């Protein structure tokens, strides 16, 4: 019985992430000429451990633009993940129903998504050479109303970070 429990505890990642949509290395985006670099801090860039989000994070409601047909505002943000462990972006329970991740390419937004970076030696599809130490994923976020929203970033087998996204309201 103890052996069975020990074996089940090692089954880990596949079962633990079965309900979280996943974007794999094969679903990455590329720049078309060279390996991508990891963004540096600055306007429109939010960094947390091995993850960087790069996009327009509007601080006013008018910066969100028009509502989409689903009644939400769409904010595009490329996710850059350093080679190594996958990361899970997840909306904390208190913000679910107002903030949605849009990286999974399915449905109407998800409360979480898992991003799996490529090994650095993976062959690029848009140029001759390896992808390097950074993998990028297209996507972004939907919000039902302007606000400052929390987003949790969990590194597989590592630390969890909490980001604050300015989506139509400044974060203070």
Give residue limits of the domains in the chain: 23-167
Averaged pLDDT for residues 47-60: 94
Tens of pLDDT, residue by residue over 98-117, are 999 999 977 789 999 999 99
Q: What is the pLDDT of residue 37?
A: 94
β-sheet bridge partners, residue 159: none
Higher pLDDT, 62 or 6: 62
Answer yes or no: is pLDDT of 26 > 70: yes
Q: What is the pLDDT of residue 172?
A: 87
Average pLDDT of the chain, as a whole number: 89
Answer yes or no: is pLDDT of 71 > 90: yes
Tens of pLDDT, residue by residue over 4-22, are 333 333 333 444 455 899 9
pTM: 0.88
Q: pLDDT above 90 covers what percent of the chain?
A: 80
Least confident range from 14-18, 49-53, 164-168: namely: 14-18
Among the listed residues 25, 20, 45, 21, the one whose alpha carbon sits nearest the alpha carbon of residue 135: 25
């Amino acid at each position: 019985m103890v052996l069975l429990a020990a074996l089940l505890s090692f089954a880990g990642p596949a079962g633990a992430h079965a309900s979280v949509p996943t974007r794999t290395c094969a679903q990455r985006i590329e720049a078309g000429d060279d390996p991508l670099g990891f963004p540096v801090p600055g306007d429109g860039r939010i960094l947390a451990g091995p993850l960087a989000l790069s996009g327009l994070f509007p601080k006013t409601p008018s910066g969100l633009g028009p509502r989409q047909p689903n009644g939400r505002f769409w904010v595009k943000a490329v996710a850059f993940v350093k080679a190594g462990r996958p990361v899970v972006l997840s909306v904390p329970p208190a913000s679910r129903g107002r903030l949605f991740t849009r990286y999974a390419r399915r449905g109407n937004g998800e409360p979480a998504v898992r991003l799996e970076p490529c090994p650095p030696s993976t062959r690029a599809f848009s140029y001759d050479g390896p992808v390097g130490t950074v993998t990028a994923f297209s996507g972004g976020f939907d919000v039902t109303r302007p606000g400052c929203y929390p987003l949790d970033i969990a590194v597989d087998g590592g630390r969890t970070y909490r980001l604050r996204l300015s989506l139509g309201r400044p974060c203070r």
